[in-house]
């Protein structure tokens, strides 16, 4: 299969992709065997030109005639075949992983819902999670959300979210890590802008004014 046909891989079924993957793996191993035989043969007749600083180990010199030849000339189109096979192999692996990511992503939220029912004290109502786009090689991205106002009212701790993330990661590592990875993005604070605008700045302003007033009072007594 040539590079121009890579787009067609997205249309193939999982079984077809796995069969194609098996074919590519056998092809790659066969080419490696040929490479090894060729290498042994040319090592007998040629030597590497170690003095060439521009292309070290890629220029051969004939032991008999002294002629210099590029390594690619020995292997002819094998390099191209191997390169294309490896690229297609990686593409198929990526497609399979991404499909697995899409098929398994709901398990993340399902586990959180199940764990929350069994351990409600571990899950405050100001914490929530949302699935993000599936990443490269099927990595499942999850965004944690914190309702900042509610967390502050309940005197919550951000460490609670970290504990939940660890529980989910432990579950994933135990049962599904061989399939695809999971990644928690940075915490998204809901209501942060309003808090900074309406609460934080006001408290800072009042505190600064209070300290300035106290300083001015002390100065007048001198």
Q: Which helix (H) or strand (E) holds 143?
A: strand 140-147
Neighbours of 59 (CB within 10 A): 17
Q: What is the pLDDT of residues 133-184, one digit of tens each?
A: 898 888 999 999 999 889 988 989 999 999 999 999 998 888 876 778 899 9
CA–CA distance, 122 with 115 (Å, rounded to integer):
9
**Closest to 129 (Cα-Cα) out of 50, 78, 77, 183:** 183
State the pTM of this model: 0.62
Dihedral angle computed from the Cα positions of residues 165, 168, 174 and 177, in that order, rounded to the nearest 10 degrees? -80
Question: What local confidence, expressed as pLDDT, does residue 90 receive?
Answer: 86
Question: Could you give the 3-state DSSP secondary structure of residue 48?
Answer: strand
């Amino acid at each position: 299969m040539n590079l121009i046909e890579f787009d067609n891989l997205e249309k193939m079924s999982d079984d077809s992709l796995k069969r194609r993957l098996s074919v590519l793996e056998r092809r790659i191993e066969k080419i490696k065997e040929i490479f090894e035989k060729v290498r042994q043969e040319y090592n007998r007749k040629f030597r590497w030109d170690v003095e060439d600083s521009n292309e070290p180990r890629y220029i051969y010199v004939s032991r008999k005639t002294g002629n210099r030849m590029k390594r690619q000339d020995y292997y002819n189109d094998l390099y191209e075949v191997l390169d294309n096979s490896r690229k297609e192999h990686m593409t198929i692996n990526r497609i399979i992983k991404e499909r697995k990511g899409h098929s398994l992503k709901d398990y993340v939220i399902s586990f959180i819902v199940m764990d929350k029912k069994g351990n409600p004290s571990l899950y405050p109502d100001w914490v929530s999670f949302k699935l993000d786009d599936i990443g490269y090689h099927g990595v499942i991205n999850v965004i944690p959300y914190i309702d900042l106002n509610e967390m502050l009212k309940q005197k919550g701790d951000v460490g609670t979210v970290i504990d939940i993330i660890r529980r989910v990661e432990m579950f994933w590592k135990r049962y599904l890590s061989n399939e695809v990875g999971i990644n928690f993005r940075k915490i998204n604070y809901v209501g942060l802008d309003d808090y900074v605008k309406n609460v934080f700045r006001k408290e800072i302003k009042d505190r600064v004014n209070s300290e300035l007033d106290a300083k001015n009072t002390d100065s007048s007594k001198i």
